[in-house]
Each structure stands twice: as structure tokens, then as C-alpha cells.
């Protein structure tokens, strides 16, 4: 019995490690893994072919419709584990007596989540929301630059990639400077606005 528990614990630790490890990896490594997995001879095409879902391998990086779903998956895979650690830390700060009281009142798992867990981590959610709302214009650079190619260039370009390409190609670095200043001003305005909204709503805020 102890060996089963030990094996289960090892499996859980391995799963947790694999979920938050990508956060500490470079985007070059992460995109390299995605390139290998999604290549014509990669594991994804192999599985889809063996299961009879497709007849021949798909070149995922040659289709524009696949590019942004791949980018979205890469970002979620890289950051979900780290965000889970942040929220788990917030959950551990909730008074256990609240869960005990909810149990005595007959609350089930979902009722505890709704009435105890979510209100308990609400300040953390608000602070992270305010901090991240300033990144609205940051559509990304590294992952789009590393995963992009000539076949998907028309949908892969972001503000940062465009300004870099223009600045290097045309020797016009003023455009990149202007774009950076514009993004910074918009980010500051959004953060201040979100912080004021949280303040008026009586929620947790940055300042």
C-alpha cells in the first residue's frame, strides 16, 4: 500500500514539475519543443495518423489558421504552471476554519469554491489583473518571431516584430522608439484606470 502511495506521490510531483518547468525555460527551448512535436515527423502527426484522424502529416507551420492557436497554446503551456503556484499560494492563506464552517452548513465542493475560495483569492486576482492589463498591446515578440516564417508572415507580425523589421531594414530606429513610447503611455493609462476602478469598487489595488 505504501509503495502505491509513494508511486502516486511521485507521479503527482512529476506532473507538477512538468507543468511549471516551462516557465523557467527560454522561449527558444519551448518553441524548439513545439517545432519537434508539430513537425511532419513529430509525435502529434504520428498520433493523428495512427488514430486515423488524418491520412497524411500536416505541416502546421505552413497554415495561417494554425499559427495563433499554436502561439496561444505555447503561452498557456509556459505560464499556466507558474500562475497555478501563485493562486495556490493565495488559497493556502485562506483560514481553514471557513471551510470547516462551510462543511457544517452542508456546503459541497462547488459551494465552497464559490463562497470561500473565490472570495478569498479575489484580492490576488484583482492585483494580477491590474498588473497584466497594461500588457494589452504586448501581443508578443519572442514566440511569434521564433515560430513565424515566410508562409505565415502576414498573420504573424506584431507591433514589436514590425518595428524591429522596419528599424533594421530601413535604418529608421525612430519608429521603434515611437512605438515603444506609445505602448508605455497606453500601459500606464490602462494601469491607472484599472487601479482607480478597483479603488472605487472597494477592491484590492496597487496604489
Given a cut of 50, is residue 95 above it in pLDDT?
yes
pLDDT of residue 16: 56
pLDDT of residue 18: 66
Cα-Cα-Cα-Cα torsion 83, 87, 88, 91, nearest 10 degrees, comes to 180
What gap in Å lies between CA 123 and CA 128, rounded to an integer?
Answer: 9
What gap in Å lies between CA 81 and CA 93, rounded to an integer?
Answer: 19
Q: Which helix (H) or strand (E) holds 191?
A: helix 173-200
Polymer length of the chain: 207
Mean pLDDT over each residue of the chain, to the nearest integer: 81
CB-CB contact of 123 with 204 (8 Å): yes
pLDDT of residue 6: 39
SS3 at position 51? coil
The percent of residues above 70 in pLDDT, for the chain, comes to 91
What gap in Å lies between CA 77 and CA 21, rounded to an integer?
Answer: 10
pLDDT of residue 7: 38
SS3 at position 21? helix
Which position has the higher pLDDT, 21 or 89? 89
pLDDT of residue 8: 33
CB-CB contact of 138 with 182 (8 Å): no
CATH architecture of 1-93: Orthogonal Bundle (1.10)
Residues forming CATH 1.10.3720.10 domain(s) in the chain: 1-93
List the grid coordinates of 165.
Answer: 523589421
Given a cut of 70, is residue 169 above it in pLDDT?
yes
Q: Tell me: the pLDDT tens digits for 33-48?
A: 898 999 888 889 999 9
* Region of residue 57 (left: phi > 0; alpha: psi -120 to 50; beta: else): beta
Amino acid at each position: 500500500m505504501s509503495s502505491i502511495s509513494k508511486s502516486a506521490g511521485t507521479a503527482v510531483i512529476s506532473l507538477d514539475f512538468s507543468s511549471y518547468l516551462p516557465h523557467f525555460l527560454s522561449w527558444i527551448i519551448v518553441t524548439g519543443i513545439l517545432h519537434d512535436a508539430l513537425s511532419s515527423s513529430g509525435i502529434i502527426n504520428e498520433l493523428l495518423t495512427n488514430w486515423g484522424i488524418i491520412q497524411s502529416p500536416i505541416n502546421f507551420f505552413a497554415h495561417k489558421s494554425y499559427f495563433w492557436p499554436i502561439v496561444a497554446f505555447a503561452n498557456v503551456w509556459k505560464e499556466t504552471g507558474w500562475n497555478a503556484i501563485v493562486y495556490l499560494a493565495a488559497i493556502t492563506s485562506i483560514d481553514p476554519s471557513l471551510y470547516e464552517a462551510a462543511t457544517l452548513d452542508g456546503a459541497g465542493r462547488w459551494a465552497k469554491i464559490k463562497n470561500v475560495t473565490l472570495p478569498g483569492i479575489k484580492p490576488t486576482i484583482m492585483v494580477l489583473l491590474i498588473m497584466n492589463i497594461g500588457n494589452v498591446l504586448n501581443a508578443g515578440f519572442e514566440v511569434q518571431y521564433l515560430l513565424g516564417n515566410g508562409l505565415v508572415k502576414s498573420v504573424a507580425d506584431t507591433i514589436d516584430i514590425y518595428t524591429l523589421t522596419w528599424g533594421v531594414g530601413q535604418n529608421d530606429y525612430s519608429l521603434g522608439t515611437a512605438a515603444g513610447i506609445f505602448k508605455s503611455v497606453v500601459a500606464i493609462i490602462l494601469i491607472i484606470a484599472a487601479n482607480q476602478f478597483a479603488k472605487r469598487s472597494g477592491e484590492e489595488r496597487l496604489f
